Structure 1
């Protein structure tokens, strides 16, 4: 697995792929074979998988439903903003289309796409250009189709009008299903056998105000996106190994002990963590915060959670918890006790 394929992502996209393929007669066990994804994981909205696992699932989906043109388009129609989690809510609350597009590109790792995209503004046109170079060839067409249909579907949900896609360029041969789908989407022109895939619309659409825009809400959800990206990145590489060791010790361990268990010097550990954009202190704080949430959700009192996490007093624990969550542990416990907790993994 390449470094890129080790990237963590929500299981929601995989769950939608399984829903799509199982609805067309492919048994779920066959879809999950060789992916490392368990059937029960599909029901856990907090579960995370790697990009490599999703690509393995996509291979099974293509094998199960058949590698026919149009299959990815139908899969993409299942994608709606709420399915994107905090990114979806952030997109819906953006002030303008321009803000939403830039946000989507900035936090693309939180979306369903398995490729890279960038924005190009050229006079009266604005285009989203796709880079499929890291997408396995055997699933490339399916992936392009799904993402084009998902972009259209999400735009349709967010915009107060029919998404104005004027031109779609794709890197595969023509087929009647593409002409039909292009007509359904209202696309003026579809180009085939291109070097890369591009979706184009009028540049002036960028200034359009979104109907559910709310600047305060948008800032809140964008911060949630940034926090989620940081948490996912800290769970891979040496950061992930440190975090697992901290979790196994209830968040309580000094840096020298963790370094010794990793067969590293403290200096080397610090340098490698810095290379991944974090520090031992940040990982410790994050881990203790997540463990605190877990303990309160599962029913422990504030005092019990403070003792379990090694705090000298409830007030010290309360102060730290306020810094993590912006609310007291008592309020958090009342609002969240009894819900299914996020897995610390």
Structure 2
């Protein structure tokens, strides 16, 4: 994320995906906030109609227009956009086919809408639907201060896409190639080819969010292999909800035991009396919970090593016991700002041919 001579120019399009329930939307929003903390103007897009971004930030539902959501500590801004297939299709028709139809001066989308063609294309042609969704993100990445892609400063320093889950991410990002091959030339094929070129360029990084558990890690590594085979640029694996390690063992337990004895039996300085047993029982219960936690920590570390052993760069984010409220979201953003995500150029090569 931060630009240095060693790291060079970083991607402008960050695609964030992950198995359902791993917190990919949380990571996408936290990443957008972290980039804004560096003074950047950032657009965060969602394409699944779930309004996860607005719920996390406590704002009104995102419309199909760009709205300012938050300011970064470094003076940057986070702008949000919910991309909806039908509206994206209307945009496309008016941009590329906006001439007069039938000599009446109506917009292309208006004429086709009356004929029912807009609903048909948006709902029945899933390949074109995904191209339109990604195409809107492509337009935001390419847009400049002049409103064109061939001059002026970029409208956004970075775009973060809260993408579909790993189960369909390769097809979603590769749909431009498929449509370009099916379309016999024309603006649709040209648009699809341009989108595909951006997604394979150094301007893009695909980040995979997982939990340090068997099923999410397995699906993450499978998705990484598919993305690599498709020629799409992999960024980091973001391991979410990682537990902190155990404490300092016996010394810590001794201090807890002594503190509990004093609290439960304040008049019994030597630790005797009936309350001592209650303190010992509570300490024993806490120790049992700590053993369970230590086992979970060890299991998580095992799956993190599995990911690293497959040659993937891993960025860990902490478990937030109270859940992700607004304060927790900014804490994750601070963590991401302090330790930037690897770009595709920084990520290690697969070990032994693994993805």
Bigger relative contact order (CA 8 A; separation at least 6): 2
Q: TM-score range by the shorter chain?
A: under 0.3
Which one has a larger percent strand, Structure 1 or Structure 2? Answer: 2
Which one has a larger percent helix, Structure 1 or Structure 2? Answer: 1
Greater Rg by CA: 2
TM-score (norm 2): 0.27
